[in-house]
Structure 1
Amino acid sequence: MKTGTRIGLAIGLLTGAAHGAGFQLYTEGSTEALGQAGAISGRDDLTSLAWYNPAALAGADKTAIMGGIAMAQINTDFTTPIPDSDESMSDEWRMIPHLYAVLPVTREWTLMLSVNAPYGLVTEWSDDWVGRQIATLSDLKAVYVTPSVAYRVTDALSLSLGASAVMAEAELGSVTTNGLPSGMEASQTVTGDDLGYGFSASAHLDVAEGWAVGARYQSRVSLELAGIVEFGAPINGRLDAGADLTLPSTVNLGVANTSINNLSLGVDLVWTEWSTYDQIAIETSAGDTVAAKDWKDVWSFRVGGEYALGENWKLRAGYVWDQSPVPETTRTPELPGTDRQMLMAGAGWVWNGIGIDVAYAYLWADKGDMGTIYPLPGEFETTTHLVSVSGRYAF
Structure 2
Amino acid sequence: MTLKSLLLAGGALLGATAAQAGGFQVTLAGQKNNGMGGVGAGLALDQAAMFYNPGALAMVRERGVQVGVNATMARSVFRGQYAGTQYDNSARTLDNTVTTPFNLYAGFGPTEGKWKAGIAVYTPFGSKLDYADGWEGRFALTEIDLKSIFVQPTASYAVNDKLSVGAGLVVFAYGAVNLQRDLPVQNPNGGGTYGHIELDGKADTKLGFNAGVFYKATEKLSVGVSYRSKIDAVVKGGDVTFTNLPSSPVVRSNFGASKFDVMLPLPATTTLGLGFTPLEKLTLGLDVNYVQWSAYEKLEFTFDQPVNGSNTSSSVRDYQDAFTFRLGGQYQLTDALTVRAGGSYDMSPVKDGYVTPETPDADRISGTVGLSYKFGEKFGVDLSTQFVRIQERTQTQQELINNNVTDRVAGTYKTNIVIPGIGLNYNF
What TM-score comes out, normalization by structure 1 length?
Answer: 0.93
Change (3 A) 1:196 1:10: farther
Q: Please name the residue that 1:393 is paired with.
A: 426
Within-5 A mapping of 1:82-231: 82=83, 86=90, 87-105=92-110, 107-166=113-172, 167-180=174-187, 182-194=191-203, 195-226=205-236, 227-231=238-242
1:247 is matched with which residue: 252, 266, 269? 266
Pairwise CA distance, 1:16: 4.1
Query: Aligned AA for 2:223?
Result: V
- 2: CA distance, partners of 1:363 / 1:160: 31
Gaps of 5+ in 2: 247-251
- 2: CA distance, partners of 1:364 / 1:17: 23
Contact 1:19 1:247 in 2 (8 A): no
Query: For each residue in 1:343-385, what CA deviation from the matched residue of structure 2 results, as whole angstroms up to 9, or x when unmatched?
Result: 0101100122100011111111221124623474421111101
User: Could you tell which deviates more after superposition, 287-296 or 80-89?
Assistant: 80-89
- 2: CA distance, partners of 1:355 / 1:57: 19
User: Could you tell which deviates more after superposition, 82-91 or 379-388?
Assistant: 82-91
Pairwise CA distance, 1:326: 0.8
Query: For each residue in 1:317-336, what CA deviation from the matched residue of structure 2 results, as whole angstroms up to 9, or x when unmatched?
Result: 00110000111222112111
Query: For each residue in 1:256-283, what CA deviation from the matched residue of structure 2 results, as whole angstroms up to 9, or x when unmatched?
Result: 0113131000000001111111111221
Change (3 A) 1:247 1:27: closer
Contact 1:43 1:56 in 2 (8 A): yes
- 1: CA distance, partners of 2:74 / 2:222: 35
Alignment partner of 1:355 is 2:380: yes
SS where residue 62 of structure 1 aligns?
Answer: coil
SS where residue 361 of structure 1 aligns?
Answer: strand
Contact 2:122 2:149 in 1 (8 A): yes
Alignment partner of 1:13 is 2:9: yes
Query: For each residue in 1:272-317, what CA deviation from the matched residue of structure 2 results, as whole angstroms up to 9, or x when unmatched?
Result: 1111111112212333322221100100000000000110000000
Pairwise CA distance, 1:183: 3.3
- 2: CA distance, partners of 1:276 / 1:135: 24
Pairwise CA distance, 1:88: 3.3
SS where residue 367 of structure 2 aligns?
Answer: strand
User: Could you tell which deviates more after superposition, 314-323 or 59-68?
Assistant: 59-68
Q: Please name the residue that 2:53 is paired with.
A: 53
Pairwise CA distance, 1:121: 2.4
Cα-Cα RMSD: 2.1
- 1: CA distance, partners of 2:169 / 2:5: 34
Contact 2:8 2:140 in 1 (8 A): no
2:390 is matched with which residue: 354, 362, 365? 365
- 1: CA distance, partners of 2:235 / 2:286: 36
What TM-score comes out, normalization by structure 2 length?
Answer: 0.86
Query: Aligned AA for 1:127?
Result: D
2:292 is matched with which residue: 270, 273, 291? 273
- 1: CA distance, partners of 2:185 / 2:352: 26
Change (3 A) 1:173 1:328: same
Contact 1:163 1:199 in 2 (8 A): yes
Q: Please name the residue that 2:249 is paired with.
A: none
Query: Aligned AA for 1:308?
Result: Q
Query: For each residue in 1:98-147, what CA deviation from the matched residue of structure 2 results, as whole angstroms up to 9, or x when unmatched?
Result: 11111115711211211111122211101221211011112222321111
Q: Please name the residue that 1:318 is paired with.
A: 342
Contact 1:26 1:38 in 2 (8 A): no
Alignment partner of 1:262 is 2:315: no
Change (3 A) 1:25 1:221: closer
Query: Aligned AA for 1:55?
Result: G
- 2: CA distance, partners of 1:329 / 1:178: 27
Pairwise CA distance, 1:54: 1.8
Contact 2:97 2:129 in 1 (8 A): no
Gaps of 5+ in 1: none
Contact 2:348 2:362 in 1 (8 A): yes
Query: Aligned AA for 1:136?
Result: T
- 2: CA distance, partners of 1:18 / 1:24: 8
- 1: CA distance, partners of 2:208 / 2:196: 35
SS where residue 345 of structure 2 aligns?
Answer: strand
- 2: CA distance, partners of 1:178 / 1:274: 35
User: Could you tell which deviates more after superposition, 370-379 or 329-338?
Assistant: 370-379
Aligned length: 391
Change (3 A) 1:361 1:24: farther
- 1: CA distance, partners of 2:336 / 2:292: 40
Q: Please name the residue that 1:232 is paired with.
A: 243
Query: Aligned AA for 2:386?
Result: A
Contact 2:106 2:118 in 1 (8 A): yes
Pairwise CA distance, 1:182: 3.2
